[in-house]
A = this chain, B = another copy of it.
């Protein structure tokens, strides 16, 4: 039994779970906005793969994840068809609540992975951390932009990008101390996921910076 590559298998399982959670967040938003089947697939795909793709465009990396592993596109399509059937029969709310935790896993995993990739390219620490944040959060940002919403990561006063940001610095720190890559990535991902989980459990909110009387809502 010793020969079974358990850790890579586990990692792939976590990655798949997190990607599905991201895709489902797109699916649910598309459903709320009453998009058609095409819109559902595109928005789910953007939520799942948009962050990593944007990071790769910025870092000028090819091939994209979904080009190298095109089977994921089929999996996404199958997920969308299945989810449309499932959502048709049930309520959305339980799905959304159930997705918070795999989504937090993805936040840690993808931000640590993105930061690690950028560090390996020799980019400055602050840029690498930023690339991790982009990887983990810009799928959701693109999802919200296409659905004509201000991205929730920018306005819900919950720590989300902030957790990825802190996790990224853990990775940079471990890298600077010469710790082994695996342990560092795990610590970074664990920090981001842990902080996000803590925020969910305690219903923590980012400090308000604008007093209500001064900020007016409409632009013009």
Contact = CB atoms under 8 A, between A and B. Distances in A.
Interface residues of A, number: 66
A207 B66 CA distance: 28
A214 B35 contact: no
Contact of A156 (B36, B70, B149, B218): B36
A154 B210 CA distance: 29
A150 B91 CA distance: 23
A127 interface: yes
Interface string A106-135: 000000000000000001111100100000
A160 B217 CA distance: 24
A70 B151 contact: no
A161 interface: yes
A207 B37 contact: yes
Given A73-B127, A84-B209, A155-B33, A38 B147 contact: no
Interface stretch (A4-12, A14-22, A39-47): A39-47
Given A60-B62, A67-B124, 11 more contacts: A38-B160, A39-B153, A53-B58, A57-B57, A66-B127, A67-B123, A70-B125, A73-B130, A84-B210, A87-B209, A147-B150
Given A73-B127, A124-B67, A214 B92 contact: yes
